[in-house]
């Protein structure tokens, strides 16, 4: 009997057909939150601001950041992500009543390349590279992703940034752009498995675009994220794993089946 982690559910785009990870040719990834530990990177980069008298919990800080990041992206689609982060830092300083210099705001905007990778990311990507083409669909600009990519320790076959597309996820245009570009390289929509952590930024739009999806639900076992997990329990996906390690194990089991 196959293990629970290796069990696939029915594909949305092929009713009645059971899909396996081995059915796909290309893994497309959401990067920040899936491969890169965005929460830890953000919280660390905000410490100089927090140390000026801000008494919020880590969860409250990250929730506030997410709220203002989303608002900033919606208001200025043409801003590169580093500039967007600079403006978010400015917003947070204002609402928290902290006086900062312009250099403080800019420094936070340049923090992305310093955000840490999840411990399982490099080895998992190197494993998947043996069996799939790998692509990234990211909200950051090209320069910031180039800084992060050195930590990922793998060469991607394609990288699609918000700077290239002119809009930010979860805009469906980002996914349509990726599908169109990969089709020109010879891979159909049915060849693609979008692999991501965020239900709101990635999974919902991937489903709307007709893509199969693997949810890397890294927050599933987090005590603090219990409410978020419950709220996202109904998110549409074809596979669900708590880590990239579990996804690798599932693929290995399917190869041996």
**201, 194 in Cβ contact below 8 A?**
no
Average pLDDT over residues 231-245: 81
Tokens representing 126 are: 């190197």
Whether 52 and 19 share a structural domain? no
| Average of per-residue pLDDT values in the chain | 88
What average pLDDT does this structure show over 154-169?
A: 94
Q: What is the pLDDT of residue 116?
A: 97
- Boundary (domain end) residue, out of 49, 83, 114: 114
Angle between helices 244-256 and 121-129 (to 10 degrees): 30
**More confidently predicted of 245 and 14:** 245
Last residue of some domain: 95, 114, 133?
A: 114
Looking at residue 74, what is its pLDDT?
A: 83
> At which of 93, 114, 135 does a domain end?
114
Based on the structure, what is the number of domains in the chain?
Answer: 2
The span from the CA of 234 to the CA of 49, in Å, is 36
- What distance in Å separates the CA atoms of residue 217 and residue 203, rounded to the nearest whole number? 11
Q: How confident is the model at residue 5 (pLDDT cuts 50, 70, 90)?
A: very low
Confidence of residue 228 (pLDDT cuts 50, 70, 90): very low
pLDDT band of 245, cuts 50, 70, 90: very high
Residues 151 and 220 placed together within one structural domain of the fold: yes
Q: Please indicate, yes or no, whether residues 220 and 234 belong to a single structural domain of this protein.
A: yes
- Looking at the fold, whether 242 and 166 belong to one and the same domain comes out as yes
| pLDDT top residue among 234 and 184 | 184
On whether both 87 and 184 belong to a single domain, the answer is no
Number of C-alpha atoms within 13 angstroms, CB side, residue 197?
A: 20
- For position 96, which CATH number holds? 1.10.150.750
In degrees, rounded to 5, the angle at the alpha carbon of residue 210 between the alpha carbons of residues 221 and 256 is 60
Q: Are residues 230 and 220 in the same domain?
A: yes
Categorize the per-residue pLDDT at 226 as very low, low, confident or very high, splitting at 50, 70 and 90.
very low
Considering the domain architecture, whether residues 238 and 166 belong to the same structural domain is answered as yes
pLDDT tens figures, 24-80:
999 999 999 999 999 999 999 999 999 999 999 999 999 999 999 999 988 877 788
Could you tell me if 153 and 91 lie in one domain? no
- Model confidence over 58-74: pLDDT tens digits? 999 999 999 999 999 88
Percent of all residues in the chain with a pLDDT value above 70, rounded to a whole number: 88
Asked if residue 139 and residue 33 are part of one domain, the reply reads: yes
Coil, helix or strand for 144? Answer: helix
32 lies in the same domain as 66: no
**Residue 205 sits in the same domain as residue 94:** no
Residue 170 · residue 205 · CB < 8 Å: yes
Residues 107 and 230 in one domain: no
Position 229 confidence tier, pLDDT thresholds 50, 70, 90? very low
Predicted confidence (pLDDT) per residue in 99-112, tens digit: 999 999 999 999 99
Q: Tell me the whole-structure pTM to 2 decimals.
A: 0.86
Domain of 13, in residue numbers: 4-37+117-256
pLDDT per position as a tens digit, 181-224: 999 999 999 999 999 999 989 999 999 999 999 999 997 644 44
């Amino acid at each position: 009997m196959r293990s629970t982690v290796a069990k696939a559910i029915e594909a949305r785009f092929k009713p009645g057909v059971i899909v396996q990870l081995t059915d796909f040719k290309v893994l497309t990834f959401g990067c920040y939150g899936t491969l890169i530990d965005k929460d830890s990177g953000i919280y660390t980069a905000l410490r100089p601001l927090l140390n000026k008298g801000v008494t919020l919990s880590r969860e409250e800080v990250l929730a506030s950041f997410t709220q203002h990041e989303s608002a900033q992206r919606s208001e200025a689609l043409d801003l590169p992500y580093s500039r967007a982060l600079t403006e978010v830092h400015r917003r947070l300083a204002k609402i928290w009543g902290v006086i900062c210099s312009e250099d403080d705001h800019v420094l936070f905007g340049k923090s992305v390349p310093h955000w840490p990778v999840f411990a399982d990311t490099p080895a998992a990507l190197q494993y998947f590279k043996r069996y799939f083409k790998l692509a990234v669909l990211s909200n950051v600009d090209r320069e910031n992703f180039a800084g992060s990519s050195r930590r990922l320790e793998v060469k991607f076959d394609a990288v699609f940034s918000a700077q290239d597309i002119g809009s930010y996820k979860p805009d469906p245009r980002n996914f349509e752009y990726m599908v169109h570009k990969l089709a020109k390289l010879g891979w159909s929509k049915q060849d693609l498995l979008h692999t991501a952590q965020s239900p709101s930024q990635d999974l919902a739009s991937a489903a709307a675009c007709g893509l199969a999806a693997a949810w890397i639900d890294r927050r599933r076992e987090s005590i603090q994220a219990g409410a978020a997990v419950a709220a996202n329990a109904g998110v549409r996906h074809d596979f669900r794993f708590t880590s990239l390690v579990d996804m690798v194990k599932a693929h290995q089991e399917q190869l041996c089946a």
